[in-house]
Amino acid sequence: MMKKSLSWILALLLLLSLLGGCAKNQPAAQDGITVVDCVGRTVTVPADPQSICDLCPFSGPMLVMFGCGERVTTSCNNAVRSRLLSEICPSMENAVVVKNSGAINAEEILAKNTDLILTNKGVYDAAAEREKLDAMGIPYVVIDFETIDEQFAAVRVLGETLQQSEKAEQYISWFRSVLDRADAAAAGAPAPARLYHSVNEAVRTDYKGSYCAEWIAHTGAVNVALESGTLNMEGGKAYTTLEQIYAWDPEIIICNEAQVDDYILSDEKWVGLSAVQSGRVYQIPIGITRWGHPTSFETPLALLWLMRLLYPDTFDVDLDAEIRAFYQTFFDYTLSDDWLAAIKDGSEMRTPKTEQKGE
């Protein structure tokens, strides 16, 4: 009964908004383009969408890269938390946050005359949220990936949807070139380091088949979380324990959330680890996104950063130049020295999570 009531309410909202001029007419099929999204749906979308709702953490930066950032009128909270994205595309700060903690605000989306929605699979898979999407009657495209190849496919879907396929292929080509460089360098490198990757929280880490495990594998490092021990899976996230991390005793720890490195280095419970004793606990840089995060499009930069960290004597890369070139090439944005330093430090680029789970 609750679901049926929700459907009727949303349908009524849609009707009222159309009658009251709050939502413009959807383009006729001949004015649209047809795409197949990441879950296999065939969708006709507007050829020139003017009001875009971004419910997917991955697609927000890509919209800006494709020159469509100013058309984003509603968004999830991930994009608006990025200081650098707002610096590159100031209008992103004006986007109304309509998704936080999973639930979407359909009334706000309708109020913004939205003619295209980009969403992630998490929203699509939630029955109540999918009902909202369907009831609004606005074309929506589902973006999803769990591997690098699937990420390339997602970029292509976005490129087709926004008629930016050439830019999408340029990005994919660059990503592949970085993978090739890493593979070649790792193949001739000395004995690999034993590495622990902290994802968001100190005791959340990688698991076999995960996106992060895949990109780190290209560096040749031994990802200790894949070796042995039991991981607790919660909603697609893998957690370990401090006791297990001691059993692994990694030589290097890398953290993708701001201030987690400081926490690990300063908390007495972690002091006995080899990586802590040698000071080899590092913050992964944070740009528009957390580099190498499961929803990041800056993963190639994470690869270059980690390769230089692991093989300083054999991997020849000017990381500063690579970072500047990336933002210049894909965003037509000239990075200042201050922004470059802020990216490499990572601590002030987005609101950090401070809660440490499961110790």
Residue 351, pLDDT score: 55
Residue 20 pLDDT greater than 90, yes or no: no
Does residue 358 fall inside a structural domain? no
94 lies in the same domain as 144 = yes
Q: How far apart are CA 281 and CA 270, in angstroms?
A: 11
Q: Mean of the pLDDT values across residues 123-139?
A: 95
**pLDDT on residue 265:** 97
Residue 254 confidence (pLDDT): 98
Q: How much is the pLDDT for 14? A: 42
Domain boundaries, position 118:
34-159
CATH number at residue 284: 3.40.50.1980
At residue 18, the pLDDT reads 36
Q: What is the pTM of this model?
A: 0.88
pLDDT of residue 13: 43
Let me know whether 217 and 294 are in one domain.
Answer: yes
Strand, helix or coil at 303?
Answer: helix
So what's the pLDDT on residue 228? 80
**Are 152 and 211 contained in the same domain?**
no
pLDDT range class, residue 120, cuts 50, 70, 90: very high
Torsion-angle region of 279 (φ positive above 0: left; ψ -120 to 50: alpha; else: beta): left
Q: Which of 110, 136, 159 is the last residue in one of the domains? A: 159
Residues 200 and 318 occupy one common structural domain: yes
For residues 331-341, give the mean pLDDT.
97
213-242: average pLDDT: 94
Locate all alpha helices (DSSP H) within the chain, ordered by sequence. 2-19, 59-65, 77-80, 83-88, 106-111, 121-125, 127-136, 148-161, 165-187, 211-217, 242-248, 260-266, 274-277, 299-310, 319-331, 337-345
pLDDT at 15: 36
Are 147 and 63 contained in the same domain?
yes
Same domain, yes or no: 200 and 331: yes
Q: Return the minimum-mean-pLDDT range out of 4-8, 82-86, 125-129, 156-160.
A: 4-8
Q: How many domains does the chain have?
A: 2
Most confident of 79-83, 95-99, 227-231: 95-99
* Domain annotation covers residue 183: no
**143 and 231 together in one domain:** no
Whole-angstrom distance, CA of residue 316 vs CA of residue 308:
8
- Domain identity same for 119 and 198: no
- Identify the weakest region by mean pLDDT among 28-32, 42-46, 97-101: 28-32
Q: Is the pLDDT of residue 6 over 70?
A: no
Judge whether 174 lies within some domain: no
Please give the pLDDT value at position 235: 86
Same domain, 149 and 216: no
Among 86-100, 147-161, 266-280, which stretch is predicted with the lowest mean pLDDT?
86-100
* Summary mean pLDDT of the chain: 89
pLDDT band at 350 (very low <50, low <70, confident <90, very high): confident
Percent of the chain at pLDDT exceeding 70: 89
Least confident of 125-134, 338-347, 349-358: 349-358
> Which is more confident, 323 or 188?
323
Long-range contacts of 345-348 (CB under 8 A, 24+ apart): 345/283, 345/285, 346/258, 346/283, 346/284, 346/285, 346/286, 347/258, 347/259, 347/283, 348/83, 348/258
Do 244 and 134 fall into the same domain? no
- Residue 240 is predicted with a pLDDT of 97
The residue out of 138, 159, 180 marking a domain boundary is: 159
Is residue 38, in this structure, part of any structural domain at all? yes
Domain boundary, last residue among 106, 140, 159: 159
**Structural domain includes residue 357:** no
Q: Which long-range contacts (CB under 8 A, 24 or more apart) does 207-215 make?
A: 207/231, 207/233, 207/238, 209/146, 209/147, 210/146, 210/238, 210/294, 211/145, 211/146, 211/147, 211/148, 211/151, 211/294, 212/292, 212/293, 212/294, 214/147, 214/148, 215/148, 215/292, 215/299, 215/302, 215/303
pLDDT number for residue 81: 86
Residue 80: predicted pLDDT:
80
Same domain, 206 and 312: yes
For residue 24, pLDDT over 90 is answered with: no
Least confident of 9-13, 42-46, 88-92: 9-13
Regarding whether 312 and 216 lie in a shared domain, the answer is yes
- 159-to-133, 247, 289 alpha-carbon distances in Å: 22, 45, 19
Tell me: pLDDT of 298 over 60. yes
Task: Tell me whether residue 181 is in a domain.
Answer: no
Any domain includes 4? no
CB neighbour burial string for 57-90, b if at least 16 within 10 angstroms, e if fewer? bbbbbbbbbbebbbbbbbbbebbbebbbbbbbbe
190: pLDDT confidence band, cut at 50, 70 and 90?
confident
The residues, ordered by sequence, that sit 6+ positions from 64 with a Cβ below 8 Å of its Cβ are: 85, 88, 89, 92, 288, 331
pLDDT for 233: 94
Task: Reply yes or no on whether the pLDDT at 16 is more than 50.
Answer: no
Is 353 contained in some domain?
Answer: no
